[in-house]
Structure 1
């Protein structure tokens, strides 16, 4: 049997990029399962959400955005620390880079290792990697909530830490007057979850409960299509919760029965593949997801650092 190519290393085909105008001055950038990004216009400035993997990749998104607005970027919001979300930050020329307190700590603790890990897993996303000037450091951080007055009658943009989930420091960006939510990787719409740095039990319960309680009518997840309408938003949250709950149940059952990590992976794969197997990055993510969850259920509170070498070891064990 032919071994599966490592992570997304064989996925080198360009994806169709789409800019959606969600409301006056509110934009979403999607690309067939690649990381999403967004922007919100203030009276005389922009707030951009996510930075993509390199300045060159970010420049493609900004070129599309500049077809609609020439306002300068005052705030660049990082939903979390992963390299494919942050290393393109220099392209924005933002006055202030904003993140959660824990995101800054994670960049300091494991940013270099994560950069090397994600470059190996997803080389196509790192367009012209030599354009990256170094690790991205937020200038403004907070622990719970930060409100940005957009001015000119545009209302507020609320940046909120809903709890531990995809990482320790995930942020969402919420436009309450317009009921639009940029959820980062806490919610995926028609894309598999990456949970290699996650807190699965917190995420599947309180964190998703807080997101659902917002009552968003438009949701931009970390990957996948924009969810339009309350029914589609609820479905995206429910799909995310189901993915987590199946993982927790199956890995827990194998571990409690004295089984192995490999058996846990096979049990989760069998349960999730019929529904999620055809969605972006499913096969890529699942070994790292199961490995982290096994650790979590074994009492390893904080995720172990992923390195390029550890990535290959886990892949060879579970997907080799």
Structure 2
């Protein structure tokens, strides 16, 4: 018997929480959903990751207006995934900012990713008819870009590969707040389908070098003490390493991908099965890890057709 594909069964509305993290930093979050960060200063607003459709992104605008009547000047994409990007036109920003790596991925596979994600995550694509096409960055940086918002320094950085090759963080040094995108998630299973699994642990160590006092993850609630931040980043690294080591052992044993998936799933489920989207992620995670460890350095493109083919091969009866 097959379990339901990806997150197609996740159709319930999730209560929203709009949280002030620091003087200028805010978070809009809901269980299982992608987080949206905001930097709001007296005269400017930045959105860090929007929603999957312009219709859904209007909700972000409504929350921002409870704090500021100023227009949204910047949208920052922490990575290229459609669920983080395609709502951007609803904000009418002056600039859409992304790393060079994310820009390259959008060009290479953005359309396929959108078609893949909408099949996996239909609830996150409410009113997909409001999507009028791909969203393209207007400002692309390679390693680091700094903007000043009413005297608040906002550093937008690519410190290494992990969740994708273009992962972007936003750092407020004056308030010691770090927005990590999906490099770090709280209460949710890391998605590794487009990851660089062998490089991810070093990128996580680079995040700790900022010595943040507050952290806004890609999913879940914010961390508000350095101790909790270290614990969360450590837990993220432990998951990635456990995934890598289990798949590596299966390859060393000469097992086929299906056997490696079954063994890795059984190994990780007792510790991580309670995390949201665990069932959704594991097939994609093991498939990508197997590819990387057998010499496919860059992730293969996920299409809606490849998603189902892989799912049926690994999760079917």
Matches within 5 A, 1:192-231: 192-204=189-201, 206-231=202-227
Segments of 5+ residues of structure 1 without an aligned counterpart are: none
Deviations 1:243-284, CA, capped at 9 Å, x for gaps:
100011000000011011112112221222112212111100
Distance across 1 between alignment mates of 2:207 and 2:137: 24
Is the aligned partner of 1:164 residue 2:161? yes
Alignment of 1:241 with 2:241, yes or no, is no
Task: Report if the CA contact (8 A) 1:53-1:88 is conserved.
Answer: yes
Q: Is the 8 A contact 1:83 1:111 kept in 2?
A: yes
- How far does residue 45 in structure 1 lie from its aligned partner after superposition? 1.0
Shift of 1:43: 4.2
Quote the offset at 1:30 in angstroms. 0.6
SS in 2 for 1:269: helix
Question: C-alpha separation between the residues in 1 aligned to 2:286 and 2:120?
Answer: 16
Q: How does 1:1-320 map to 2 (within 5 A)?
A: 2-152=1-151, 155-204=152-201, 206-320=202-316
CA distance in 1, matches of 2:219, 2:199: 21
- 3-state SS of the aligned residue for 1:273? helix
Structure 1, 183-192 or 53-62: larger mean CA deviation:
53-62
RMSD (Å), alpha carbons: 1.0
Q: Kindly provide the CA deviation profile for residues 121-164 of structure 1, in whole angstroms up to 9, marking residues without a partner as x.
A: 00000010000111010010011000111224xx3111110101
Which sits farther off after the overlay, 111-120 or 215-224? 215-224
**Is the CA contact 2:42–2:68 (under 8 Å) kept in the aligned structure 1?**
no
The whole-number CA distance in structure 2 between the counterparts of 1:52 and 1:273 is 29
Give runs of ≥4 in structure 1 deviating > 3 Å: none
Q: Is the 8 A contact 2:44 2:150 kept in 1?
A: no
- Measured after TM superposition, the shift of residue 51 of structure 1 is 1.3
Measure the CA separation in 2 of the matches of 1:119 and 1:82: 11
Number of positions where the alignment pairs a residue of Structure 1 with one of Structure 2 = 316
Query: Contact 1:191/1:276 (CA < 8 Å) preserved in 2?
Result: no
